[in-house]
Amino acid sequence: MPTHRIAWMMRLKPGNEALYKQRHDEIWPEMLAEMQAGGIRTFSIYRHGLDLFAYMERTNPPDPADKPSATAWRWWEMMAPLMDTHPDFSPVQYPLEEMFHFSPRSIAED
């Protein structure tokens, strides 16, 4: 089964680094269940200063027609004071282009 890798950047507002980390340490179980049900295999967020780098692997590509769930909207609303967001509370995301990838299993698949 192919893996779809997606990466993007986001930005925290100054002074919110610890609270952002705490909220993710305490992420809602229903949020994790939705991510797993949506085909997300792995999802990581890294921080450098106020910049956030998010990386996701999923079993299917994201469908632009899919709307975020009520749980996702509640999460975004809770996180909005901590980071750059759009007026609807969705995070401002800067998509990143993959320039290189290495995986020993990808060699075996070719």
Cβ burial, residue 106 (10 Å; 0-12/13-18/19+):
exposed
Residue the block writes with tokens 């792995």: 42
Q: Tell me the CATH number at 49.
A: 3.30.70.100
What single-letter amino acid sits at 55? Y
Q: Helix (H, G, I), strand (E, B), or coil: what is residue 47?
A: strand
pTM of the shown model: 0.88
Catalytic: which of 24, 48, 86, 101?
Answer: 24
**What domain count does the chain have?**
1
Identify whether 101 is a catalytic site residue: no
Range of the domain at 30: 4-109
pLDDT along the chain (110 residues), means of 10: 91 98 98 95 97 96 89 97 97 96 69
The region, left, alpha or beta by phi > 0 then psi within -120 to 50, assigned to residue 22 is: alpha
